[in-house]
């Protein structure tokens, strides 16, 4: 059995209880060393074997899984954040399927949630935005044209942009096709890690602010009016509003 486990954004305590238990029981742990803290491995049992997938290609990862599984060993494949977002797990699951090896997926706290927590803002504010767009700029992995940043920006929703800290000037240009220059933007470098950095800026100033901090990778870029102060209070906790669990005060 192979367990794909979301390690969370950085802080080792931001893994699920289920994920931690699987690490404790694993014989083999394959971890994405670039953004998974190796401190997770301190929870493994004596004699567990570790592989850093940052230095391995897909076939090597699959070989480790196949050999361990044939010996009836428990394998944890530890991915950063939540594995369903830019985790490259589909190709691994499909290959395991073909080999007849069973697997399961344990979700994790994605870096976009961790970044929102670090800046203490809610992404879905009533009257401001009820939609969150998770996206990235094209890099070596292309993005379908229908999902280009200028086309997504037309919604002026709350956006969480992954894998794009090295391209902030062109990202800002893309965003300015629809967002106002005064729109707030937060760049959260290594959310929840000890060396986390937060830059709060606006689209018109962020390029120089990010340059001054020297951030070129490992950052979440959060954009939208949800970063401002104005919004309507929620209906859910409005004292006049009835829900399945509570009758509103008349
Ligand atoms: N599956 C991961 C994303 C992997 S892609 C998740 O759910 O978060 C790697 C990108 O995620 C990085 O380029 C960066 O944009 C973002 N990222 C991952 N961990 C981060 C962190 N702790 N702080 C800020 N951004 C992070």
- Report which secondary-structure segment, H or E, holds 75: strand 75-79
Spatial distance between the Cα atoms of 76 and 63, rounded to a whole number of angstroms: 14
Instruction: Give, for ligand 1, the residue of 16, 35, 164 to mutate: max count of ligand atoms closer than 8 Å to Cβ.
Output: 35
Output the CA 245–ligand 1 centroid distance in Å.
37
Spatial distance between the Cα atoms of 12 and 190, rounded to a whole number of angstroms: 13
Instruction: Please say whether the beta carbons of 76 and 29 come within 8 A.
Output: yes
pTM of the model: 0.94
pLDDT at 235 over 90: no
Among 119, 227, 211, residue whose Cα is nearest residue 168: 211
Spatial distance between the Cα atoms of 206 and 172, rounded to a whole number of angstroms: 8
Ligand 1 pocket check for 85: Cβ under 6 Å: yes
Looking at the CA of residue 87, tell me the nearest atom of ligand 1. 1
Instruction: Give, for ligand 1, the residue of 92, 220, 222, 223 to mutate: max count of ligand atoms closer than 8 Å to Cβ.
Output: 220
Q: Mind listing the pLDDT tens digit for each residue in 33-67?
A: 999 999 999 999 999 999 999 999 999 999 999 99
Q: Mind listing the pLDDT tens digit for each residue in 1-32?
A: 999 999 999 999 999 999 999 999 999 999 99
Going by their DSSP bridges, the two strands 158-162 and 219-223 should be labelled as antiparallel
Domains within the chain, CATH numbers bracketed: 2-106 (3.40.1010.10), 111-227 (3.30.950.10)
Ligand 1 pocket check for 115: Cβ under 6 Å: yes
Ligand 1 pocket check for 118: Cβ under 6 Å: no
């Amino acid at each position: 059995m192979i367990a794909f486990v979301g390690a969370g954004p950085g802080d080792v305590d931001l893994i699920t209880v289920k994920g931690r238990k699987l690490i404790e029981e694993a014989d083999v742990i394959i971890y994405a060393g670039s953004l998974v803290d190796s401190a997770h491995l301190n929870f493994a049992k004596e004699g567990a074997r570790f592989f850093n997938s940052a230095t391995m290609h897909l076939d090597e990862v699959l070989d480790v899984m196949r050999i361990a599984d044939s010996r009836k060993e428990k394998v944890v494949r530890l991915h950063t954040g939540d594995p369903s977002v830019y985790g490259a797990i589909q190709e691994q699951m499909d290959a395991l399927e073909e080999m007849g090896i069973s697997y399961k997926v344990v979700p994790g706290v994605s870096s976009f949630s961790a970044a929102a927590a670090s800046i203490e803002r809610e992404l879905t504010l009533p009257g401001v935005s009820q939609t969150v767009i998770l996206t990235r700029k094209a890099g070596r992995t292309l993005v379908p044209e229908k999902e280009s940043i200028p086309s997504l920006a037309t919604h002026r929703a709350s956006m969480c942009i992954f894998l794009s800290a090295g391209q902030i000037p062109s990202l800002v240009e893309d965003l300015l096709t629809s967002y106002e220059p005064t729109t707030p933007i937060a760049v959260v470098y290594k959310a929840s890690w000890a060396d986390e950095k937060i830059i709060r800026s606006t689209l018109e100033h962020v390029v120089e602010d990010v340059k001054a901090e020297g951030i070129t990778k490992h950052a979440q870029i959060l954009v939208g009016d949800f970063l401002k102060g104005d919004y309507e209070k929620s209906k859910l906790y409005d004292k006049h509003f009835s829900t399945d669990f509570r009758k509103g005060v008349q």
